[in-house]
C-alpha cells in the first residue's frame, strides 16, 4: 500500500527536490521524470521508478503503475499537489512524478548494429534541444543520441520533459570527441556533418548504414577539425534571411532526409 507524505521536510521530498540540481543528480545517481504519459512510456520499455510520488490515483494507468512499482520493490507515495509543485518547480505540476536510477552513458554500452541511424550532438547547451532531439530520434527509429564534449545534462528536468518519454526509448551516451572518433572508426559507420560551409546539398548526398548525423553547438556550429573528420559534409539551403536552423529542427530535417532516401531505395 502507498504511504502518505504530507510534510515538506520529509527526507524523500527533499531528496527528490534536490534532483533539479545537476550536482545532486550526479551524486545520487538519480533523475526525475514527471507526467503519466512519460512514466507510462518508461514502464512500457521495462523501466520503473524506484520512488513514485502521486496526488491522484484515479487513472487506471496510474493504478497499474503503482502496483508494478511496489511489486518491483519500489515505493509509491501519495502526497499533495503543493508538494509535487515543490519537487518539480512547476506552477501546474503533473499528478505523478518518479525518481529513476541514472542510465549507463558509456560509449561501450552502445550497439551500433542495433539501429541504422544514430544522432551525435556536439556541445549542445539547451536541454530543450536535447529532449527534442531524443524525441526526433524515437520518431525516425534511431538508436539513440551520443553527446560529444560538454553538453547540457540529458537527465535534467527540462530535457526529460522535452523528450516526451523518448529518454526511455533511446540510448544515450556521453564522450569526449577524441574518444567518440576512436570508437566510431573501430567499426562501420558513416559520419555525416551539417555545415553552412559545405558544398554538397543534403538531398544530393548518398547516406549509408549505419549513419551518424553530427550536429554542432547552437551558436558556433561544428569546429573545423570536427567537420574535417566527417565522411560527408552537407548543407541545407537557407532561402530566407535566417542563416541557420535551430539545432533540433536541423536534426529532424536531416534525419528524415536520411530515412526517406533509404525508404525510396
Alpha-carbon distances of 83 from 9, 52, 159, rounded to whole Å: 10, 13, 22
Residue 184 sits in the same domain as residue 212: yes
Residue 114 sits in the same domain as residue 13: no
CATH label of the domain that carries residue 9: 3.30.1330.30
Residue 93 sits in the same domain as residue 113: no
The strand pairing partners of 255, in sequence order, are: none
Residue 92 sits in the same domain as residue 158: no
Comparing 6-20, 36-50, 115-129, which segment has the lowest mean pLDDT? 6-20
C-alpha cell at 63: 493504478
Note the pLDDT of residue 93.
65
What are the pLDDT digits (tens) for 24-82?
999 999 999 999 999 999 999 999 999 999 988 788 999 999 999 999 999 999 999 88
If pLDDT is split at 50, 70 and 90, which confidence band does 6 have? confident
H or E stretch covering 72: none
- Using a 10 angstrom Cβ sphere, with 0-12 exposed, 13-18 middle and 19 or more buried, the burial of residue 261 is middle
H or E stretch covering 147: strand 144-148
Neighbours of 185 (CB within 10 A): 11
Q: What range defines the domain where residue 180 resides?
A: 107-264
Helices (H), the chain: 11-18, 22-28, 36-44, 60-71, 81-88, 127-139, 157-163, 177-184, 224-229, 247-264
Q: Which residues of 70-80 are buried (b: 16+ CB within 10 A; e: fewer)?
A: eeeebebbbbe
Residue 142 sits in the same domain as residue 14: no
Instruction: Give mean pLDDT, residues 217-240.
Output: 89
Note the pLDDT of residue 1.
66
Residue 117 sits in the same domain as residue 54: no
Total structural domains in the chain? 2
Residue 19, pLDDT > 80, answer: yes
Residue 136 sits in the same domain as residue 187: yes
Instruction: Give mean pLDDT, residues 103-129.
Output: 96
Residue 133 sits in the same domain as residue 248: yes
What are the pLDDT digits (tens) for 126-171?
999 999 999 999 999 999 999 999 999 999 999 999 999 999 999 9
CATH label of the domain that carries residue 150: 3.40.1280.10
Residue 251 sits in the same domain as residue 152: yes
Residue 90, pLDDT > 80, answer: no
Residue 169 sits in the same domain as residue 241: yes
If pLDDT is split at 50, 70 and 90, which confidence band does 236 have? confident
Note the pLDDT of residue 160.
95
Q: How far apart are CA 43 and CA 132, in angstroms?
A: 20
Among the candidates 40, 68, 101, a domain finishes at 101
Residue 129 sits in the same domain as residue 8: no
What are the pLDDT digits (tens) for 170-208?
999 999 999 999 999 999 999 999 887 888 999 999 999
Residue 73 sits in the same domain as residue 38: yes
Among the candidates 101, 124, 158, a domain finishes at 101
Amino acid at each position: 500500500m502507498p504511504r502518505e507524505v504530507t510534510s515538506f521536510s520529509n527526507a524523500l521530498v527533499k531528496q527528490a527536490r534536490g534532483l533539479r540540481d545537476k550536482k545532486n543528480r550526479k551524486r545520487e545517481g538519480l533523475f526525475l521524470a514527471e507526467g503519466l504519459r512519460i512514466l507510462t512510456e518508461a514502464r512500457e520499455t521495462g523501466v520503473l521508478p524506484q520512488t513514485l510520488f502521486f496526488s491522484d490515483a484515479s487513472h487506471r494507468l496510474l493504478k497499474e503503475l503503482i502496483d508494478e512499482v511496489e511489486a518491483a520493490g519500489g515505493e509509491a507515495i501519495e502526497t499533495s499537489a503543493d508538494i509535487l509543485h515543490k519537487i518539480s518547480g512547476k506552477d501546474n505540476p503533473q499528478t505523478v512524478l518518479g525518481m529513476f536510477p541514472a542510465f549507463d552513458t558509456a560509449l561501450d554500452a552502445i550497439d551500433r548494429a542495433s539501429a541504422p541511424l544514430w544522432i551525435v550532438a556536439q556541445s549542445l547547451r539547451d536541454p530543450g534541444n536535447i529532449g527534442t532531439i531524443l524525441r526526433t530520434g524515437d520518431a525516425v527509429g534511431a538508436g539513440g543520441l551520443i553527446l560529444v564534449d560538454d553538453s547540457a545534462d540529458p537527465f535534467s528536468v527540462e530535457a526529460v520533459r522535452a523528450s516526451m518519454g523518448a529518454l526511455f526509448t533511446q540510448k544515450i551516451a556521453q564522450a569526449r570527441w577524441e574518444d567518440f572518433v576512436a570508437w566510431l572508426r573501430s567499426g562501420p559507420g558513416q559520419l555525416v556533418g551539417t555545415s553552412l560551409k559545405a558544398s554538397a546539398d543534403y538531398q544530393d548526398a548518398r547516406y549509408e548504414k549505419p549513419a551518424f548525423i553530427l550536429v554542432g553547438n547552437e551558436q558556433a556550429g561544428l569546429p573545423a577539425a570536427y567537420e574535417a573528420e566527417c565522411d560527408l559534409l552537407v548543407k541545407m539551403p537557407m532561402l530566407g534571411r535566417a542563416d541557420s536552423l535551430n539545432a533540433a529542427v536541423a536534426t529532424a530535417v536531416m534525419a528524415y532526409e536520411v530515412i526517406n532516401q533509404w525508404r525510396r531505395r
